[in-house]
Amino acid sequence: MSWVADLAQGTSGVRHAKGLAAFERVGFPGPRLEGWKYTSTRSVAKVDWVRADVVAAAAIDGLRLPHAAVELVFVDGVYQADLSRGLDGAPVSLEPVAQAELQPQHVGSEDGFVAINDALATEGFVLTLGRDQVMTAPVHLLFLQQGGEQPVTGQVRLVVKAERHSRMQLIETHHGGEGQTFVNELITVQVADGAKVQHSVMGRLGSGQLVHTVRAEVGRDATYHSHMAWLSGSLVRSDILARLVGQGGHVELDGLYVLADTDHVDNHTVIRHEVPNCTSVETYKGVVGGKARGVFDGMVYIAKGADGTDSQQNNRNILLGDHADVKTKPTLEIYADDVKAAHGATVGQLDQNQLWYLRARGIPKAKAEKILTHAFVADRVLAHPDEAWREVLAEAVEARLAVLEG
């Protein structure tokens, strides 16, 4: 019996039962599934996890974001009300939701991790920003995987609702340490008509493992902008499904991964154009060295009738050293004819001409390589509109590049 069934024993409720049944049917995703071809889930499947709990204290002081209006803290996937701040008087509200109200999400999914979340999540929260409300400062979701003596796991379940014409900035930071931990997060983002959600994620997970699943639904003239930065992690699976369900909607997915050592990051994104006249832009960039593996598997789906779609998808990679590898698979599935869709992917080393140019000007090779690598990733950092966050991110990216450059 797997640990999922063990941990499910303490739960009741229809969602849990359905989730467990679904998990027992599909199991942990394996390499035979097209979407999990490049990522092994053994390191999650073969461990006897115990549930994480509320903690007395956690070393989060250095991890807080000073400019955040609201800060919600999760340790090993469990919400820590005492450590969180800023909810009083904020335009945004956080409500714990009864189990019964959180619908099972695994339906129609081949993904065992959503089923696990259905089966095991005992708490869930809805974060709502009311109609016409504009928040200038971000909501910070601080996730720390600190672990304990035993391997611990936590299930995070969040629903983010941006009501009509509201604007919200959401920043998730995921920090890991030395402990053996696994967090399975399912976040549903509803962007109502005319609303705008900026959703940023930074992960520095170390030995921590994270399966991060985003389900976004974008209404009429609404915008969902996701900005992912994965800077380390023994197993990170980032799943995004963004559905454009109202005309004039816009989805922008930006991604950056800087990987060294034995990092493994698998980016799996799907943008579904279901109605006419929507646009999407996706740009993922990676620098992969050491013995790391970086995966990009991006799909743009344009449904029948979704005319007037304009979609661009791009993945660029720099591979350093002879033990790293990159798998990229930018795919298009198009069933409408009046569309513009382009995608591209590159994998390579630093441009030799650029290197030569810099060296000809007296810059040593190592330094020149550094300049070019930094320039390559910098534009993803700069793609973020929030200056304060850009600074935090830039510092974290620099630190990771320093590791990569030895």
Supply 10's token pair: 């303490």
Does position 259 interact with other proteins (CB under 8 A)? The reply is no
Using the rule CB under 8 A, which residue among 104, 176, 246, 330 binds other proteins? 330
Using the rule CB under 8 A, which residue among 121, 201, 202, 319 binds other proteins? 319
Does position 374 interact with other proteins (CB under 8 A)? The reply is no
Does position 110 interact with other proteins (CB under 8 A)? The reply is no
Using the rule CB under 8 A, give the single segment among 52-60, 105-113, 329-337, 371-379 that binds other proteins: 329-337
Does position 343 interact with other proteins (CB under 8 A)? The reply is yes
Shortest spacing between CB 356 and other proteins, in angstroms: 15
Binders in 295-314 for other proteins, by CB under 8 A: 304-305, 307
What gap in Å lies between CA 5 and CA 211, rounded to an integer?
A: 19
Does position 344 interact with other proteins (CB under 8 A)? The reply is yes
Q: What is the largest CA-CA distance in the chain?
A: 69
First to last CA, the chain: 43
* CA 16 and chain centroid, separation: 24
Does position 31 interact with other proteins (CB under 8 A)? The reply is no
Using the rule CB under 8 A, which residue among 10, 27, 31, 348 binds other proteins? 348
E-strand stretches of 260-324: 264-273, 279-288, 293-302, 310-319
Does position 12 interact with other proteins (CB under 8 A)? The reply is no
Does position 334 interact with other proteins (CB under 8 A)? The reply is yes
Residue that has been written with the tokens 């904020």 in this structure: 90
Shortest spacing between CB 239 and other proteins, in angstroms: 18
What gap in Å lies between CA 95 and CA 385, rounded to an integer?
A: 28
Binders in 32-61 for other proteins, by CB under 8 A: 34
Using the rule CB under 8 A, which residue among 41, 166, 198, 328 binds other proteins? 328
Shortest spacing between CB 366 and other proteins, in angstroms: 16
What gap in Å lies between CA 372 and CA 359, rounded to an integer?
A: 12
Looking at the Cβ atoms of 85 and 343, the one nearer to other proteins is 343
Tell me if 314 sits within 8 A of 341, measured CB to CB: no
How far CA 155 is from CA of 18, 135, 209, 213, in Å, comes to 16, 28, 12, 11
Using the rule CB under 8 A, which residue among 339, 368, 377, 381 binds other proteins? 339
- Exposed (0-12), middle (13-18) or buried (19+): which is 313, by Cβ within 10 Å? buried
Does position 349 interact with other proteins (CB under 8 A)? The reply is yes
Looking at the Cβ atoms of 223 and 317, the one nearer to other proteins is 317
Does position 342 interact with other proteins (CB under 8 A)? The reply is yes
Does position 88 interact with other proteins (CB under 8 A)? The reply is no
Using the rule CB under 8 A, give the single segment among 14-22, 62-70, 204-212, 323-331 that binds other proteins: 323-331
Q: Residue 267: which of 293, 291, 294, 244 has the closest Cα?
A: 294
What gap in Å lies between CA 203 and CA 145, rounded to an integer?
A: 11
Tell me if 261 sits within 8 A of 232, measured CB to CB: yes
Cα 108–Cα 169–Cα 144 angle in degrees, nearest 5: 75
Using the rule CB under 8 A, which residue among 87, 97, 347, 392 binds other proteins? 347
What gap in Å lies between CA 295 and CA 328, rounded to an integer?
A: 6
Shortest spacing between CB 303 and other proteins, in angstroms: 10
Q: What residues have CB less than 8 Å from 11, skipping those under 6 apart?
A: 119, 120, 122
Does position 226 interact with other proteins (CB under 8 A)? The reply is no
Q: Binding residues for other proteins, how many (CB under 8 A)?
A: 35
Footprint of other proteins on this chain (CB under 8 A)?
A: 34, 304-305, 307, 317, 319-322, 324-349
